[in-house]
Amino acid sequence: MKKYDLIVAGGGLSGVAAAVAAAREGLHVLIVEKNSNLGGAASNCLINPFMKYSLQKKDARGEVFYEQLNCGLFKEIVDRLRRAGALNESNMFNVAFNIEYMKMILEDLCEENGVDLLYQTTVTGADVRDGVVRSVRVFNKNGFSDLFAEYFLDCTGDGDLSVMAGAPFRLGRDEDHLCQPMTLCFWVSNVDMEQFAKDRPLINGKYKEWQEQGKIKNPRENVLIFRHVAPGILHFNTTRVINRNPVDAFDLTMAQREARKQVFEMFGFLQQSFESFKDAVLLMSAPEIGVRESRMIDGEYTFCLDDILNYRKFEDSVACGCYEVDIHNPSGTGTHLIYLKKDNYYTIPLRCLLPRGMKNLMVAGRCISSTHEAQSAYRILPIVCNIGEGAGCAVAIAHKENILPREVGADKLHAMLDRYGARY
Ligand SMILES: Cc1cc2nc3c(=O)[nH]c(=O)nc-3n(C[C@H](O)[C@H](O)[C@H](O)COP(=O)(O)OP(=O)(O)OC[C@H]3O[C@@H](n4cnc5c(N)ncnc54)[C@H](O)[C@@H]3O)c2cc1C
């Protein structure tokens, strides 16, 4: 029977960073991923750009400069994207990247560090005894099989493995368990960009008019558009599906269908209303609808809004972030934003990565132990990447010392993160 040191469920940015962080310390690591590429929501849901990962500071002469906060493996990925000419850094608070290069870079990182990959394979269950996960059950073209490891890491975004292993969790906001809305992102090509610069300030007003006339059903309050790395293409993150449960397959299917109608509604609106879209082409929508929030696994500590607003620096921090509280209304229109100081940051403690009652299982990425409000801030790509790296380092230390992840000392964890240039 083959036994890995670490099995990571889910190959999003958190999963890849965790796997690479552990493998570069000599662990034999496998990523089990239900799709056929790495990158998670960035690849499967077309999520782009990287939200804020740098602090904005002023030097002695009062000149503004940017200091990269999310470093370590995230910086390595950004540096590789930059070297490949696959980044658009014209706005340091949302840096667009080419997803095809990202997929390749993530596979390169895994190959260089000896991480094994298993695609088109879904984790469907876990064999757990006394809080120890012995194996995970997976399903793929070979049918069902069991995969064994000493440690397991849940990076599925939805906390699938933790829930299958029996860990407690919360879903969405406390009062009604509704999660932030789901969004199907899409790209529109052949946009007249010169004309678009003139049209852009008028789009939200016209959109409101159409909404009031009942011609737009999308409950989102405005139209959210980002630039794309390619010329003449725009990236839309603007559909909004509310009141659906992202971890119910029937609801998820309805959400995907509802969002697709919104894609056509939005494209029709733009084509009929604005010169810049006259010859535009609806290029593609994401293969999967994007889930901002679903389950958050109950851990030894629950990260909360207060920690963010007080820029809390935890003794056992594994990662840090400077992205705002950004809650898209789970039940209607509006987005609740709380802006943070541009030169300060919050940290995320290791205890949020330790599911209660589990011994050799950790969780990383958007489904760590947190409240609905706090999740809206740390869920972005740069931060989940660093959370994953922290988790991978913790497992590497646990493995070397033959201890449980919860027994890993913060000093050792920080020494390892320092060695790899990560901030926490
Ligand atoms: C609509 C939307 C817009 C967003 N906008 C931005 C933005 O502009 N900038 C930004 O930085 N962030 C943004 N985010 C946030 C960010 O994309 C996610 O929070 C982040 O990708 C989460 O990373 P993760 O590694 O935790 O999970 P994911 O990226 O979701 O990766 C999880 C992986 O696990 C796999 N998986 C799931 N279940 C199983 C299973 N049972 N077995 C095997 N594999 C499984 C999935 O296929 C996936 O590859 C947005 C998110 C959404 C949904």
pLDDT digits (tens, 9 = 90+) for 51-92: 999 999 999 999 999 999 999 999 999 999 999 999 999 998
List the CATH number of the domain containing 110.
Answer: 3.50.50.60
- Ligand 1 centroid – CA 157 distance (Å): 6
Ligand 1 near 365 CB (within 6 A): yes
- Are 94 and 225 in the same domain? no
- pLDDT bracket for residue 184 (50, 70, 90): very high
34 Cβ inside 6 Å of ligand 1: yes
pLDDT bracket for residue 12 (50, 70, 90): very high
Does residue 22 lie in a domain region?
Answer: yes
Inside any domain, residue 424:
no
Q: Verify whether ligand 1 is closer than 6 Å to residue 381 (CB atom).
A: yes
Number of structural domains (the chain) is: 2
Residue with tokens 């992202």: 246
**DSSP string covering 257-275, please?**
HHHHHHHHHHHHHHHHH-G
Cβ-proximal residues to 200 (8 Å cutoff; 6+ apart), any chain: 225
What's the pLDDT tens digit per position in 186-211?
999 999 999 999 999 999 999 999 99
Question: Mean pLDDT in the chain?
Answer: 98
Question: Does the beta carbon of 173 lie inside 6 Å of ligand 1?
Answer: no
Containing structural domain, residue 89:
3-174+294-419
Side-chain half-sphere CA neighbours of 178 within 13 A: 15
Domain-embedded: residue 259: yes
35 pLDDT band (50/70/90 cuts)? very high
Determine, yes or no, domain membership for 394. yes
Are residues 205 and 237 located together in one domain of the fold?
Answer: yes
Q: Whose CA is nearest to atom 38 of ligand 1?
A: 156
Phi-psi region at 188: left, alpha or beta (left = phi > 0; alpha = psi -120 to 50):
beta
Give the number of C-alpha atoms closer than 13 A to the C-alpha of residue 316, restricted to the C-beta side.
17
Region 397-413 average pLDDT: 98
Residue 236 within a domain: yes
My answer on whether 154 and 28 are in the same domain is yes
Residue 318, in any domain of the structure: yes
With a 6 A CB cut-off, is 291 part of the ligand 1 pocket? yes
- Of 291, 319, 347, the residue at which a domain comes to its end is 291
Closest ligand 1 atom, CA of 323? 11
> Token match 């932030």: residue?
180
CA atoms lying within 13 Å on the CB side of residue 116: 14
Q: Are residues 140 and 201 in the same domain?
A: no
Q: For ligand 1, is residue 123 a contact (CB within 6 Å)?
A: yes
Whether residues 156 and 28 share a domain: the answer is: yes
Residue 168 lies in a domain: yes
Same domain, 263 and 396: no
CA of 292 to the centre of ligand 1 (A): 8
Asked whether residue 83 is assigned to any structural domain, the reply reads yes
**Centre of ligand 1 from the C-alpha of residue 17, in Å:** 13
Question: pLDDT for 281-324, tens place per residue?
Answer: 999 999 999 999 999 999 999 999 999 999 999 999 999 999 99
Q: Which of 291, 311, 341 is the last residue of a domain?
A: 291
Q: Which of 295, 379, 383 to mutate to test the pocket of ligand 1 (most atoms within 8 A of CB)?
A: 379
Residue 247 is given by DSSP the state T
Does one domain contain both 240 and 344? no
Residues 194 and 146 in one domain: no
CA distance 33 to 40: 9
The residues, any chain, with a CB within 8 Å of residue 213's CB and separated by 6 or more, are none
pTM for the model: 0.98
Pocket lining: 126 vs ligand 1, CB cutoff 6 Å: no
282 CA → ligand 1 middle, Å: 24
> Do 72 and 192 share a domain, yes or no?
no
Helix (H) or strand (E) holding 30: strand 29-32
Is the confidence at residue 414, as pLDDT, over 90? yes
Contacts by residues 108-112 (CB-CB < 8 Å, ≥ 24 positions apart): 108/80, 109/16, 109/20, 109/73, 109/76, 109/77, 110/16, 110/19, 110/20, 110/23, 110/31, 110/38
33 lines ligand 1 (CB under 6 A): yes
Nearest to 106 by CA among 26, 184, 3, 8: 8
Are residues 307 and 261 both part of a single domain? no
Mean pLDDT of 253-260: 98
32 lines ligand 1 (CB under 6 A): yes
314, 361: one domain? yes
Q: With a cut of 90, say whether residue 1 has pLDDT above it.
A: no
Where does a domain end: 235, 270, 291?
291
Query: Are 89 and 32 in the same domain?
Result: yes
Determine if ligand 1 sits within 6 Å of the CB of residue 122.
yes
